[in-house]
Amino acid sequence: MSFKVLVTIPWFKKRPAPELERLREHGCDILINQQERAYNEAELVDVIPGISATIAGSEPYNEKTLAAADQLKVIARVGVGYDMIDIEAATRRNVPVAMAFGTNHEAVADHAFALLATLCNQLPTYQQEIKGGRWGVRFHHSLWQGTVGIIGLGRIGRALARRCSGFEMRVLANDIAPDVDYAAANGIEMVDLDTLLEESDFVSINAPHTPLTDKMINAERLALMKPGAYLVNTARGGLVDEGALIEALRTHQIAGAGLDVMAIEPLPDGSPLRELDNVLLTPHCAGVSDKAVSLMLDRCIDSVLAIKDGRKPERELLLNPEVLD
């Protein structure tokens, strides 16, 4: 039987992906998602039978879709989030889930810092005013020597902290499993979440979305933030109570927000977030710089070819390495 690899991510319909040639050189047949968006559950059920491996995006891998995956030998996820994958269901079917850890954190940190800087300097407002024929100067906050609070001090959080340190910012951090030695060595203050929200001029969310972190930024916690503070989320939309955030933005309880992720993606046409002038929106693109995409693809291809050739992928990339034992 041929080894069929389904590339589910819609970017590659338009973006050349020379990295995929390595799969063809190893005898793989490649199918690329031809839609403009990720597969939904029903679409994945239709397309996944007979597929040996997926280079996966944000489509759902659950009991229903995995039951239809009669030949699936590996899910190789482009990126680092896996909230759309039922790891237990994959494990029961002996399907390893391989991640692209260590490849896109610098790109996400770049994007998070860009959102902070853009909001802080009110660039969208200036752009709109000048294009509308107005000319005026307004006071804005300063990144330099401001206080940033980083929720989640993993690879992305640490990369963002390095960027903020270059601006002589005070860096606060909160993490469910704090590495106090790393923090102390890098001038980062580990604090509880409430303290972080109360004292930060800028808050960046870089934590994984789990049942424990679902809607961790809610109305009560937004109320702790300074009226002049900005919230940036490049992690997952489910970490924030979107209704509470919209209300906080409407009433100017906080100064603004930069969101690369939302509760529902793509963002619905009728979402109030589209109308608010103190929110900056990007379409879940933080980790997709050219360099990061190439690194993520190569890492996923390494895992797919390892499974195809009867080898074990790098264990630290697997969410369920026990299936190979």
Catalytic residues: 236, 265, 284
Question: Any alpha helices (H) in 93-185, and if so which ranges?
Answer: 105-120, 123-131, 155-165, 180-185
Residue carrying the six token digits 């909001």: 119
Nearest to 115 by CA among 242, 285, 253: 285
Q: Is the CB of residue 259 less than 8 Å from the CB of residue 283?
A: no
SS3 238: helix
166 vs 70: CA distance, rounded Å: 51
What are the strands of the beta sheet with 53-56, ordered from one edge? Answer: 28-32, 3-7, 53-56, 74-77, 97-99
For the chain, helix, strand, coil in percent to 5 are 40, 15, 45
222 vs 256: CA distance, rounded Å: 11
310 vs 314: CA distance, rounded Å: 13
100 vs 87: CA distance, rounded Å: 16
SS3 234: coil
Q: Is the CB of residue 237 less than 8 Å from the CB of residue 265?
A: yes
122 vs 141: CA distance, rounded Å: 9
